[in-house]
Structure formats: C-alpha cells, structure tokens
C-alpha cells in the first residue's frame, strides 16, 4: 500500500506522515518512509539522520559521468538505482529515503521526476510506503503521485489550506488520477471552532478521514526540537492519527 500525504505548506503533512509511521511501526510490516519535500524535515520528525539524498546521488552521478568515471558498457540507470538503494537509511522499525534537492540552482523537478521511478522500483520490497510530499499541487501535475493508493490531504482551518485541498481533489479528477482512497484530514482544530471548520471542510468536497486538535504537547516538542515519533501513545494526536490509519485499512 502506498500512502501519500499532501496539502498546503505548513498544514501538518510531516506531523501526519511521522505519526502514521509511528503507528505502523508497532506492526510487523516492512515500511519505507519517503521524504519528497525538498525542504526536507521528515528525518527530524522521525529522529533519523540522513547522510545522502537522491539529489546528492544524482549530482554525484552527473559528476562521475562528466569526469569519465563510469565504466563503458555499464547502464547509467542501473548505477543510479543501485546508488539510490544504498542511500536508504535502515532503522529497526522502518527505512527512510530522502529525495532532497540538487545543489546550487539546479531544478528540483529532475529529482521530483525520479520519484515515480523510485516508487515503482521499491514498491515490491515493502508492505507500506508513506510519502511526505512537497507542499502544493506539483506532485500531481508532474504525476509523481499517480500510482499512490491512498492520498491524504491535510488542511488547517485557513481558507488557503482548504482551497489547496479542494484543488488537489479537482486536479486529480481533471488528470484522471484515480486514487483508491482520497481523504481530507483537518488539523489544528480547537473545540470552540470545530463546528464552523467542519462546515468549511465539507465545502472541499473531500471525504474526511479524521480531525486532529491543536496540541500543546506538539508545540512543546517543536520548541525542544524533539522527534514527533517520541510523542507518548496516550497523546490525543497520536491516537487521532492511529484512528486515521485504521480507517484507511478498513476500506
């Protein structure tokens, strides 16, 4: 199963991705987390260091090719795939691959375009792949997430967050990308405004997978720079994301 987490910048994609991985880690499944955000922060949320990103691998290969360091007769794609496999960080509970970005002024799209190939190559090695996507709609327009099974769109209460969510639903439709499941997750809700925000969320036309409340403990973790996966199991936010996962799996 391939699950992607999308939405406007800063709405909680990385929080949801990392807590989905936490919830899945308690199972015996083989999990791959992919940080597809060029401004990568999933490793921090998971408490894992990444030495080499796919962007770095690509830069190195370009340099090796330019300097004639690739033996003739060797397929460049095979070398690329091999080096990408090597850059996967393995932990006891999950593996992690960060897409990163090319150095300097290089276009990020080249790395982004590699994501679809990576997903295709790796999907048979894992039970679940969780992708923390870059903010916005480009993962759809570039079709990097077209083979995803479950698309989770995160929004906060902001009008712009809701609009991005709505656009993701509409663009997937327009591009005839048919996710098996497509859900909205409403994040940073307060009890005082819950009703009103739920009303606004309905207007996106997306089915709701769950609501996550504003959480002071998450803020505390942010201030201290602690990995979100270390949130206790009793945390309401952890429970909310586990609930979202059960909802996905029961369908």
Binding site for ligand ATP (CB under 6 A): 7, 9-15, 37, 41, 135, 187-188, 212, 214-215, 218-219, 222, 237
Any residues with CB less than 8 A from the CB of 72 and at least 6 apart, and which? none
User: 50 with 20: CB under 8 angstroms?
Assistant: no
Q: Residue 44 or 217: which CB sits closer to Mg ion? A: 44
- Closer by beta carbon to ligand ATP, 64 or else 214: 214
Longest dimension (CA), the chain: 66
What tokens does 95 get? 């593996």
Shortest Cβ 11–ligand ATP spacing (Å) = 5
Closest approach of ligand ATP to the CB of residue 250, in Å: 24
> How big is the chain, counted in residues?
251
Q: Which long-range contacts (CB under 8 A, 24 or more apart) does 161-167 make?
A: 161/7, 161/8, 161/11, 162/200, 162/201, 162/203, 162/204, 163/8, 164/7, 164/8, 164/11, 164/136, 164/137, 165/7, 165/8, 165/204, 165/206, 166/203, 166/204, 166/205, 166/206, 167/137
Q: Which does 9 bind (CB under 5 to 8 A by kind): Mg ion, ligand ATP, none?
A: ligand ATP
Closest CB to ligand ATP among residues 88, 186: 186
* Residue among 37, 56, 163, 167 nearest 112 (CA): 37
Name the strand (E) or helix (H) holding 162. Answer: helix 159-174
Span from 9-17, 20-28, 137-145, 221-229 in contact with Mg ion (CB under 5 A): 9-17
Looking at beta carbons only, is 14 or 155 nearer to Mg ion? 14
Q: At what angle do helices 54-66 and 109-122 cross, to 10 degrees?
A: 110
| Shortest separation between residue 87's beta carbon and ligand ATP, angstroms | 21
Q: Which does 214 bind (CB under 5 to 8 A by kind): Mg ion, ligand ATP, none?
A: ligand ATP
- Nearest-approach distance from CB 18 to Mg ion, in angstroms: 9
Tell me which residue has its CB nearest to Mg ion: 14
Least Å distance, CB 125 to ligand ATP, is: 25
**17/166 with CB nearer Mg ion:** 17
Q: Which of residues 45-104 bind Mg ion (CB under 5 A)?
A: none
Specify the 3-state DSSP secondary structure of 128: strand
- Read off the tokens for 121: 């190559």
Work out which of 6, 14, 145, 204 binds Mg ion, going by CB under 5 A.
14
Closest to ligand ATP by CB, 79 or 208: 208
- Residues near Mg ion, by CB under 5 A: 13-14
């Amino acid at each position: 199963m391939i699950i992607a987490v999308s939405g406007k910048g800063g709405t909680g994609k990385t929080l949801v991705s990392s807590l989905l991985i936490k919830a899945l880690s308690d199972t015996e499944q083989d999990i791959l987390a992919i940080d597809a955000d060029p401004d990568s922060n999933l490793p921090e949320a998971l408490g894992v260091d990444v030495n080499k990103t796919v962007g770095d691998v690509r830069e190195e290969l370009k340099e090796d090719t330019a300097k004639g360091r690739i033996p003739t007769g060797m397929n460049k794609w095979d070398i690329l795939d091999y080096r990408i496999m090597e850059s996967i960080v393995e932990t006891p509970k999950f593996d992690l691959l960060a897409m990163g970005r090319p150095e300097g002024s290089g276009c990020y799209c080249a790395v982004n375009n590699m994501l679809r190939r990576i997903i295709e190559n790796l999907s048979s090695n894992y039970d679940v792949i969780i992708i923390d996507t870059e903010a916005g709609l480009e993962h759809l327009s570039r079709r990097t997430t077209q083979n995803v099974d479950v698309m989770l769109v995160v929004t906060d209460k902001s009008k712009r967050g809701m609009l991005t969510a709505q656009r993701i639903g509409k663009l997937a439709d327009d591009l005839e990308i048919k996710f098996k499941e497509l859900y909205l997750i409403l994040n940073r809700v307060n009890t005082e405004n819950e009703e009103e925000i739920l009303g606004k969320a309905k207007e996106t036309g997306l089915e709701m997978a769950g609501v996550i409340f504003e959480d002071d403990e998450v803020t505390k973790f942010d201030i201290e720079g602690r990995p979100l996966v270390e949130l206790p199991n009793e945390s309401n936010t952890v429970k909310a994301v586990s609930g979202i996962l059960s909802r996905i799996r029961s369908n």
